[in-house]
Each structure stands twice: as structure tokens, then as C-alpha cells.
Amino acid sequence: MTPPPRPGIPPRVALVLGGGGLKGFAHIGVLRALRERNIRPVVVAGTSVGALIAAAYARGLTVEELERRALSLRKPDLFRIDHLGMVMRRMLSPSLYLERPLQEIVEQLAPEGTFRDLPVPLLVNTVDLERGTQVTWGLPGLQDVRVTDAVYASCALPGFFPPRVIEGRTCVDGGVMGNTPAIVAARDVDAVIAVDVGSTSLTAARRVRQKGFAAIFMRSVQLMTRSLQQMQLSAWQGPPLLLIRPPVWKYNWFSFVHARTMIDAGYATACEVLDEVRDELHGAGGVYPLRQVEVRVDRERCTGCGMCANLAPDVMRLDAAGKAVPLRDAFEWSRADGAFVTECPVQAIVAEVVDGHGQRHRTMEFTIVGE
């Protein structure tokens, strides 16, 4: 007999899977945790690798099948340099890598047909390069296109893979404007479960200037998506949102050797977050789970630049000596809060999560460390 949904999870939930390269393998672990708890989203949405896995879910592929494919994927399966294009067209070549390998992966995982043919509503976030707007395929009026075209476009990181023209729109990776498309999935649902793998805490990039243009570009993309994600969550006005952030920050976006670890990280984090849910997802809104966080400032390090007070005036201020101080000792934060901590240019701010036993733990969300 199928177990009933957990009391803390409302019946109508949207699942949103964010972009983040191969860190998106963590989404597979999240799907396993949802299945074990009989949580069945009424709509799935995604960007980039999140769109690919969301499409595979809508197609009905099992977690076991997704795991098998993730663990067998190798670099040549996805990245093959377009040598001819680079020689013949040089700077006019649309991308560094060939289109076909990515297209083949999309065709293996995404369902055939259009969005109207799907048993589970699917939303795929892309960006129209020429108009400079987001286009989320699967929304009303945007359903009569092939799912594989939309998913390919959502995965087409600019410069790495060629764009895809869909109904006259030149579309690329939706992460350019919205890496975790929770807003578009929030309509007519009780709550949103969002999985963020691409804009979690950053490690300090060392010698990035010497690693070539691709490394510089990807670092810039990571910073951009993190900033956009923070803006979206800080202004969240939708239904209750449960944010799952697997600890995959230390892995490269295109690391093929840590698939098992990232799948397991997604599963473990999802289990922890889902099992903490009580009644908060039945409320009017907000981002969850909430945790008790203590904030303090190293006064010897603090230069009094005022960056923290400008970014978070409801948390920080400058005292009479021109040093930063928190307005309170402790705050109730979600995993989307506290981004200003890592913006301190001298890393003078320390934020620690206080667990139920009064123990304090520094987490990567509030810490920058070397790779």
C-alpha cells in the first residue's frame, strides 16, 4: 500500500530544479528522497541541468535509471570541440563545443512531443538572447513546441553550445536571467520545493586568471547566478518555499568524477530538510527551513567600510567608533539569508548556526575558504 503524504507537506507542491552544470546530479538524490516520502509534485520546473532532470522526471524515468546514466557519463559524451567551426569561422563561430552530443543526451532523457502531451506539467526556463527576456516554455501560449528543443536551449550555456531557435526566438541557458525559476512555478500551488545547486556558497577561486577564458567565464557565470538567486529569494512573495541546498559548492561545474558523491549529497540534504518540516508550508509564505543564527564581528579586522550596513540595514549598523555591529545577537534565518556576510572585504563577520543543543556551527553559507 502506498503511504500517505507526510502531514507537513501540502498536497499541491511545485518542484523547481536549478542549474549548475554536473552539480545537478544532486537533483537525482533529491528525487529519491521525495519518492521515499510519497511527495509527488503537481508541476516540475527547471533551468539548464535542472530542466533536463525535470524533463526526465516528467517522462517517467526512474531514479535508478537517472543514477545509472549519471554514473556512466564521461566528458567526451558531452564536450567535443567544434574544430571545423573554430577554424572556418573563428570569432564568428557560435560556440566552442558541438551541438550534437548535448542534443543526444537531451533526446535520451527528455520526452518526445510537445508540452501539451505531458502527464505532468513541465516548465523549462530559457532566455531569448535577441529580445533580452526570459521565456519559460510550458506556460500558457508556450506549449506547442518540442520539449527536446526547449530543454536543449535551457542547457545551451552561451559560448559553450550553440543557441536553439524556437518559434523564431534565439534561446540559450535560462540561468542567464533566472537559475532557479521558482516564481513561474508558484502559480496555483500550496508550496514550492526549490533545489539550488549552482548558486550555493562560493569557495575562493585561486589563480583563476591563469586558467584560461573558459574558467574566467564560468567563474563570472557562477557569481552572476548567485547574485540573481539571492535577489529572487530576498524578494520572495509567493507561497511557502522550502529551499534545499546540497553541499556541492566545492565541486567543479563540469566534474565527471564526483557523480556518486553529488547524488548522495542531494539525497542526504533533502532527507534532512524534508524531515524537519512541520506546519510552516501551510502558512502564507516565506522561505524555509529557518535556523537560529548568531552574528558577531571581529573588531580588529573591521575597517568600518559600511558594506554590511548598506546591504543589510535590518541586521547591521555602524557604532559610534565606526565599527560594524549586529542589531541583535541572534537571528532566525533561512538558507537564503545572510548573503551579506561573505561580502565583507576583510571577512570580519562571523555567522554561526546554533543547533537544538546550543552548539554553534560555522557553515559554508557564511564562510569563504580557499579551493
Nearest to 173 by CA among 157, 149, 184, 196: 157
Look up residue 240 and give its three cell numbers: 511557502
Q: Are strands 43-47 and 122-128 parallel, antiparallel or unpaired?
A: parallel
At residue 12, φ and ψ (nearest 5 deg) are -105, 100
Among candidate residues 16, 73, 46, the one with its CA nearest the CA of residue 263: 73
Nearest to 20 by CA among 258, 340, 353: 258
Q: In 10 A of CB 52, how many CB atoms?
A: 27
Which residues belong to the active site?
48, 173
What CA–CA distance (Å, rounded) separates 218 from 1? 47
Instruction: Take residue 70 and report the three cell numbers written for it.
Output: 549519471
Distance between CA atoms of 273 and 281, rounded to whole angstroms? 12
C-alpha cell at position 191: 508550496
CB 368 within 8 A of CB 203: yes
Q: Which of 76, 69, 143 is nearest to 108 (CA)?
A: 69
